[in-house]
Structure formats: structure tokens, C-alpha cells
Amino acid sequence: MPAYLSTYGRVMDLMPEIILILEKNGRIIDWNRQAGEMFGLRRGDKLATIDRLVAPGQPDEVLRSLSMAQVVPSEEVRVVRSDGGVLDMRYEIKPLHGPKGEVRVLIGRDITLDKQKELDLLRFSNVIQHTINPIQITDASGRMVYVNPAFERASGYTREELLGQNPRMLSSGKHAREFWGGVWKHINSGKLWTGRVENRRKDGAPFHTELVISPIMDAGGKVVGFLGAHRDITEQIILEQQLVRSQRMESIGTLAAGIAHEVGNPLTAISSLVQVLQRTVQDPFATEKLGLINSQINRIAKIIRDLVDFSRPSTHVSKPTDLNQILNDALNIVKYGKKVKDVTFSLDLDGQLPAIRIVPDQIVQVFINVLMNAVDALEGRPGTITVSSRSAESVIDIAVSDTGKGIPSGEVDKIFEPFYTTKGVGRGTGLGLWVSYGIVKSFNGDILVESIPGEGSLFTIRLPRNT
Ligand SMILES: Nc1ncnc2c1ncn2[C@@H]1O[C@H](COP(=O)(O)OP(=O)(O)OP(=O)(O)O)[C@@H](O)[C@H]1O
Ligand SMILES: [Mg+2]
């Protein structure tokens, strides 16, 4: 029995590690049972050298240091078992002084499984890093410990700002306290939760997601954290809201057509009777009052015309039109108004605008409405109205921005509703935008609004190029 391992019998055989005793030239002169079985070493096989065990394709320097049994603190190498299987081994080589001089001891550990796990983890984290789905992981107390780049993009916050915080920081305030209470109770009991949530981005914009929260459990079944995987449905929600809005507009349109018809006919009758009376009556008092009646009738008639415009399919013919030309026509009309003397109009028109098929009379009305609103928003104070046209791949955007009073964020949705006005009686009917929206929609376009109260508003009239 070789002297090195004899003192306590084959104590080394009880160790889980692979132990090889090497000469300085790499020859294997003894081993424990683990190593013997793994590499199929036999006692008579005096010529076995360490490099025979190494799998092909290993780095040269590792091979060299191994074959010279150099002392190393910690290294990795891939070795081949006697049954042909390949395993990853982490090892160290230490010097040992024995009766016949110095030898080297290699102590190795099979790390194949660890490596596999490491690789799995790497793959997993790569998937999470690159998926388009926003993902967050919290600890058991609900503090975020991981967020992926998609989550940073969706929320507008950086990793640094998010980690350590409770997901509550993204709360939109749209869900009641009981809602989140219920969610926490559910997931804390180890169950999966799925639902739609509305969050708020750093810039204040809403971001809607479909969220799956799954508890992360340790081997003992204890909840140690939560995985929240989102699917961004903001786009979808916006489309849904637009659909609801245009459906609502449609039903209001039908109603308006009915009213316009029912009110319009008697109004025409009244109007002609008034005109008959005006021509025949001599009494100055009566004449004056008839004049007042007439102007009030005209006011109603204008409203009726707007209602009809909105609801009646256009009888005008559409033709290829240069929107810049229409914009100029609208500006010329608006600039004649009394209120524009302190207004600076700034123009930024795209000279390459392609002509599109629309009804010029209708679109000019839209531009006039939006421009008049911009003038009104300045409320007589000096200010600037910027008008621009831009052509993109599939749409043309006409943007009108003003430096006026702006629209409170809660009101932006309402401004397209009929009869919504913030202007005094007789100064606005609240039909301008409603009519404009109806017209633009009939060309499959859209009107987009951005506004900052106290700073101004931007109205973008978007028309598709292929009408
Ligand atoms: N550029 C703007 N800046 C601020 N508020 C605006 C702007 N454009 C529209 N609004 C708001 O939207 C409301 C509705 O506009 P809309 O054009 O539909 O009706 P109106 O201008 O009040 O009346 P009219 O029927 O005469 O146009 C306005 O009363 C105003 O409160
Ligand atoms: Mg208006």
C-alpha cells in the first residue's frame, strides 16, 4: 500500500472529491476510490498521466500546467470519464512532502451540474432581459429586486429608480385600495393572479397592462417573492376608447340629424313669417323686436346647420386637394377677425405635400374651427399660433398650436362633445370641434390633442394619404 494514504487506511476513499497523487511530471501514482472509478484507473497502470484524462479542446495553458502538475489555487478543466462521459471539474493542485520527496495532490470536484444550472440561469436571464414583456420581481415584502429593460421602457423609470421600491409607485390611483389588497391576499396564499391594470408612467401618461403575478416559492413552499409579467395593452386600450368615442359620436349624430330635421322645418316657417311681418309692420317698437327675433332665429339656424353638417353624409364632391392651399384659405378668413390684432401667425408648411382626395369646403371648415379656437384661447392677449403641415409615410399632419390658456387634463375628452363650451353665452356653441371631428372621421382621419394648462395647446389634424 502506498505510503501517502496508508496512515488512516483509505480515508480518502470516503471523500466525495476526486483525489489524485501526481508526480511533478504529471504521472499519476495514487488516487482515491472516486477518482479510480471515474477514470478507470488500475493499480498496475503505472504510466497513466494526467493529460490522458483531459477532454479534447481544452485551453493549452491549462493542459500544460496540469501535465507538469503545477501548483494552482483553483482552475477548471473538462475531463473524460472511463465510460466516455464528459464532466466539468474544478480542481486545485497542492504540494505534499512525502517520504520520497515532494509530490502533488490534485483535489477535484464535479461541477457539471453547477455549470448546467449556471447555463440555464444565463439562458433564462437572457430571455427576460430581451423579451418585449415588462417583467418585475419583488421580494416577499413586495419591494422590487429586479426589473427588465422592457419594464424600464414601459414605466419610463430607470432600474435605479425602481429597485427597492414598492410597485405602488406606479399606481395610477385608478384602482381602489381594496383591489390591491385583494391581489396581495391572493398571491400571498401562493396562488397566481391575472388581471388588467392601469399604471402611471414617470411622465404621467397611463400605461395599461395585462398582468400575471406568480409567487416564487422556496423548496419548502414558503413564498419568497413575486414575479410580475406584464403585457403592454396601452395601444389596444386607446383604440378601444377611440372606438367607444366614435360610436358615441355616431349615435349623437343620428340624434342630431333627427333634431335638426324636426326643429329646422318649423324654424324655416317662423323665419319666413317674421320676414313677412317685418315688411308689413310700420310700428317702430314691433320692428325692433322683430329684428331681435330674426337675429335669434339666425343663431338657431347656425346651430341647425352645424348639426346637419355633422350628420348628413356630404353631398359635396371630393377631389385631389392641396392642403397647404386650404390652410392658407382658412388663415385668410381667420385673420380678418377683430380678435387677431395681437396674434402672431407663424407658418411652417411642407412644400412637398402630396395632394389628397377630400372635400375642400369641409376641410376648410375644420381648419377655421381649430384656428378660431386657437385665437379664442389667447383671450385677447398677445400670443403665437403656429401652423404646420407635414407628410409622413401614410398620413398628413396639419398641426395648429397656440400659446393660449390650454385645456385642463380632465376636460380634454369632453371638448369633442356637442355643446361643450367654456365660452360665454352667445360666444360659442360648443359645436365647432364636434363638427370638425365628424368631418375628419368621415375621411378616416383623426384629431389629436395635447395641452398644458396655462401654456398652450396643440391640435393635430391627421388625414390619411390614400383617401
Ligand atoms: N386651442 C384651444 N385652447 C384651449 N381650449 C380650447 C381650444 N380649442 C378648444 N378648446 C376648448 O374646447 C371647447 C369646445 O370647442 P368647440 O370649438 O367645440 O366649441 P366653441 O369654440 O366653444 O364653440 P363654437 O361652436 O363656436 O366653435 C372650447 O369652448 C374650449 O373650452
Ligand atoms: Mg370653436
DSSP-derived secondary structure for 54-82: BPTT--HHHHHHHHTT--EEEEEEEEE-T
Please tell me the number of the ligand nearest to residue 423's CA.
1
Helix, strand, coil abundance in the chain, percent, nearest 5: 40, 30, 30
Report CA(369)–ligand 2 centroid distance (Å): 5
Ligand 1 and 328: CB distance under 6 A: no
**Which atom of ligand 1 is closest in space to residue 431's alpha carbon?**
25
**Comparing 313-322, 360-369, 381-390, which segment has the lowest mean pLDDT?**
313-322
**Comparing 265-274, 313-322, 453-462, which segment has the lowest mean pLDDT?**
313-322
Segment 169-198, tens digit of pLDDT: 998 887 888 888 889 899 988 899 999 998
pLDDT of residue 267 exceeding 60, the answer is yes
Ligand 1 and 431: CB distance under 6 A: yes
What integer is the mean pLDDT of 205-221?
Answer: 91
**Comparing 55-69, 246-260, 287-301, 409-423, which segment has the lowest mean pLDDT?**
246-260
Report CA(457)–ligand 2 centroid distance (Å): 14
Distance separating alpha carbons of residues 226 and 217, to the nearest angstrom: 9
Ramachandran angles phi, psi of 430, nearest 5°: 80, 20
Which pLDDT does position 1 carry in this prediction?
47
Please tell me the number of the ligand nearest to residue 416's CA.
1
Ligand 1 and 418: CB distance under 6 A: no
Report CA(415)–ligand 1 centroid distance (Å): 7
**Which atom of ligand 1 is closest in space to residue 405's alpha carbon?**
4
Q: Ligand 1, atom 10: nearest CA belongs to which residue?
A: 373
Q: Ligand 1, atom 9: nearest CA belongs to which residue?
A: 373
Distance separating alpha carbons of residues 204 and 155, to the nearest angstrom: 10
Mean pLDDT of the chain: 88
Ligand 1 and 420: CB distance under 6 A: yes
What integer is the mean pLDDT of 240-250?
Answer: 71
Ligand 1 and 428: CB distance under 6 A: yes
**Comparing 285-289, 347-351, 395-399, 426-430, which segment has the lowest mean pLDDT?**
426-430
Segment 307-359, tens digit of pLDDT: 776 665 555 678 899 999 999 988 988 887 777 888 999 999 999 999 998 98
Ligand 1 and 225: CB distance under 6 A: no
Report CA(374)–ligand 2 centroid distance (Å): 8
Which pLDDT does position 68 carry in this prediction?
86
Task: Return the amino acid letter for 371.
Answer: L
Ramachandran angles phi, psi of 56, nearest 5°: -65, 150
% of the chain beyond a pLDDT of 70: 94
Segment 143-176, tens digit of pLDDT: 999 999 999 999 999 999 999 999 989 988 878 8
Q: Ligand 1, atom 26: nearest CA belongs to which residue?
A: 428
Nearest to 306 by CA among 156, 143, 430: 430
Pocket test for ligand 1, best of 373, 379, 417, 434 (most atoms within 8 A of CB): 373
Which pLDDT does position 69 carry in this prediction?
85
**Comparing 103-107, 299-303, 352-356, which segment has the lowest mean pLDDT?**
299-303
3-state secondary structure 161-226: HHCCCCHHHHECCCCCHHHHHHHHHHHHCCCCEEEEEEEECCCCCEEEEEEEEEEEECCCCCEEEE
Distance separating alpha carbons of residues 447 and 39, to the nearest angstrom: 77
Report CA(432)–ligand 2 centroid distance (Å): 4
pLDDT of residue 86 exceeding 90, the answer is yes
Ligand 1 and 430: CB distance under 6 A: yes
What integer is the mean pLDDT of 193-204?
Answer: 91
Ligand 1 and 167: CB distance under 6 A: no
Task: Look up cell 503505472; give the residue.
Answer: 46
Ligand 1 and 386: CB distance under 6 A: no
**Which atom of ligand 1 is closest in space to residue 373's alpha carbon?**
8
Segment 56-72, tens digit of pLDDT: 988 888 888 888 888 98
pLDDT of residue 424 exceeding 70, the answer is yes
Distance separating alpha carbons of residues 195 and 200, to the nearest angstrom: 16
**Which atom of ligand 1 is closest in space to residue 406's alpha carbon?**
4
Which pLDDT does position 4 carry in this prediction?
54
3 band by pLDDT with thresholds 50, 70 and 90? low
Q: In terms of pLDDT, which residue wins out, 250 or 375?
A: 375
Report CA(461)–ligand 1 centroid distance (Å): 15
Domains of the chain: 3-115 (3.30.450.20), 131-232 (3.30.450.20), 238-311 (1.10.287), 319-464 (3.30.565.10)
For the entire predicted model, the pTM comes to 0.50
CB 215 within 8 A of CB 241: no
Highest mean pLDDT among 157-171, 257-271, 419-433: 157-171
Torsion of CA 383, 389, 392, 395, to 10 degrees: 100
